[in-house]
Amino acid sequence: MSKKVYIFLADGFEDIEGLTVVDLMRRAGIDIETVSIKESNEITTSHGIMMKTDRVFTGTDFSDADMLVLPGGMPGTKYLGEYQPLCDLLRDFYGKSGKVAAICAAPTVLASLGFLEGRKATAYPSCMEGLTGAEPSYESVVVDGNVTTSRGLGTAVDFALSLIGQLLGEEKADEIAESVVYSRK
């Protein structure tokens, strides 16, 4: 059975953090859709690349989600954290033990929602103090229960492979790593 993942994009998201997750998950056969939090599916990345998302948030039914993902980047992370419908969705999904994942600055959004309380977590170095209630970790990727956090662009492949491993098993994650000539630690 195919897994369903939604990754939420706002203007100013970090290109590599968002699109590495999309690319590697699609290679693994995971149905991942990019979702704009704007009324339009046109997004501009933090490095000025214009792209179109698969969907817009408004009117999308997320009831089939197996995982929700937030990429970092500024001001994208700020916009994600300020978008109340996304925060409401994350609260509801997390409350039902759904898997949530965030990289770079985006773990601060999870912290602001109380998801990191008493959990091990990581983030971009300058965002570590924003991990309210978390036990800070400096590992590339931290999985604590249904919450996964990662540090930044340099850990994006490890982050994506960890998410694939959680959804489809480590053998599949290893297969994808090998297919893109990436050595897992």
Domains and their CATH numbers in the chain: 4-179 (3.40.50.880)
pLDDT less than 50: residues of the chain: none
Can you tell me the distance from the alpha carbon of 84 to that of 87, in angstroms, rounded to the nearest whole number? Answer: 5
Choice among 67, 104, 157, 168 that is catalytic: 104
Question: What pTM does this model have?
Answer: 0.97
The whole-number pLDDT of residue 2 equals 86
Backbone angles phi, psi at 14, to 5 degrees: -75, 115
CA atoms in the 13 A half-sphere facing the CB of 91: 10
Q: Do 64 and 35 form a contact (C-beta atoms < 8 A)?
A: no
pLDDT at 55: 97
Q: Note whether 132 and 116 are within 8 A (CB).
A: yes
Active-site residue flag, 87: no
Q: For residue range 145-164, what is the model confidence (pLDDT) as tens digits?
A: 999 999 999 999 999 999 99
| pLDDT at residue number 184 | 82
CA 106 → CA 7, 92, 113, 165, distances in Å? 12, 18, 12, 21
Contact 144, 121 (CB under 8 A): yes
Determine whether 139 is exposed, middle or buried from the number of CB atoms within 10 Å of its CB (0-12, 13-18, 19+). middle
Question: For residue 103, which of 125, 134, 132, 133 has the smallest C-alpha distance?
Answer: 125
The reported pLDDT for the residue numbered 64 is 97
